[in-house]
């Protein structure tokens, strides 16, 4: 398997999972400083020119959540998702879909506000509004964590790795997700995982992680 990645990008989730799974894989840097995600070669794999892409034999996959669900399904022994057909599995789907189509999508407006305006002068206002929506999203997620410690209660899953990545992305927000005790507790537990530490080191990501 080959993961096309850039440090700290959405590729972080499948990278965490590949290290949790513990099988050999190759990391291939998509150098964003040279806009390689828009190169003709990369667009063949990922027509949107976005990171990540997973190549698994003849299978080429884009969309972070799809890659994560595929890895969880393919390697059930890694315990990254609850058993098929269980209520926990349904909750797992709920969180994976929610995280990708709500906060992850909103983060695009926050990171790339210029893509959401016709007048460049409006970009700061779009970013500020995205931040307010993100804060509300993180507050709702924290409220639903309840006793936790994980999104699925007692059971760790790839959804927690996904949430960790989003908490990290928000670290320079005015009210960062880490300022919410429940989210910080989850992030600290995720950081205790050896696979997570290995991933962060391999990507050259240093503390503070969130």
Ligand X SMILES: N[C@@H](CCC(=O)N[C@@H](CS)C(=O)NCC(=O)O)C(=O)O
Site residues, ligand X (CB under 6 A): 9-10, 37, 49-51, 62-64, 108
Quote the least distance from Cβ 188 to ligand X, whole Å: 23
Quote the least distance from Cβ 85 to ligand X, whole Å: 26
Nearest residue to ligand X, using CB? 64
Quote the least distance from Cβ 18 to ligand X, whole Å: 15
Angle between helices 194-202 and 12-21 (to 10 degrees): 130
- Residues near 36 by Cβ (< 8 Å), separated by ≥ 6? 30, 42
Q: How many CA atoms lie within 13 A of 91 on its CB side?
A: 16
Q: Output 9 or 135, the one with its CB closest to ligand X.
A: 9
Per the listing, tokens 């828009």 go with: 38
Q: Output 35 or 197, the one with its CB closest to ligand X.
A: 35
**Distance between CA atoms of 138 and 124, rounded to whole angstroms?**
21
| Residues facing residue 3 across a β-bridge | 27, 54
Per the listing, tokens 């209660």 go with: 153
| Alpha carbon separation from 187 to 69, 133, 171, 183 (Å, rounded) | 21, 21, 12, 6
Q: Output 49 or 148, the one with its CB closest to ligand X.
A: 49
Q: Output 112 or 132, the one with its CB closest to ligand X.
A: 112
Quote the least distance from Cβ 201 to ligand X, whole Å: 20
Quote the least distance from Cβ 162 to ligand X, whole Å: 10
**Distance between CA atoms of 189 and 158, rounded to whole angstroms?**
13
Q: Output 65 or 182, the one with its CB closest to ligand X.
A: 65
Q: Output 100 or 182, the one with its CB closest to ligand X.
A: 100
- Residues near 77 by Cβ (< 8 Å), separated by ≥ 6? none
Quote the least distance from Cβ 36 to ligand X, whole Å: 10
């Amino acid at each position: 398997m080959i993961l096309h990645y850039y440090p700290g990008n959405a590729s972080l989730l499948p990278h965490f999972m590949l290290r949790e799974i513990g099988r050999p894989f190759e990391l291939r840097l998509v150098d964003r400083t040279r806009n390689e995600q828009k190169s003709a070669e990369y667009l063949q794999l990922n027509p949107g020119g976005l990171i990540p892409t997973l190549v698994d034999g003849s299978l080429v996959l884009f969309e972070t959540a799809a890659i994560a669900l595929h890895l969880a399904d393919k390697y059930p022994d890694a315990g990254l998702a609850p058993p098929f057909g269980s209520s926990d599995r349904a909750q797992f789907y709920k969180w994976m879909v929610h995280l990708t189509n709500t906060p992850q999508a909103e983060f695009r407006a926050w990171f790339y506000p210029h893509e959401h305006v016709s007048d460049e002068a409006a970009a700061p206002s779009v970013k500020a509004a995205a931040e307010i929506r993100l804060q509300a999203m993180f507050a709702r997620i924290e409220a639903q964590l309840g006793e936790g410690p994980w999104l699925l209660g007692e059971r760790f899953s790839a959804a927690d790795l996904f949430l960790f990545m989003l908490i990290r992305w928000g670290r320079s927000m005015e009210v960062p997700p880490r300022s919410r005790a429940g989210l910080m507790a989850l992030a600290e537990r995720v950081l205790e995982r050896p696979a997570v530490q290995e991933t962060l080191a391999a990507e050259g990501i240093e503390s503070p992680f969130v």
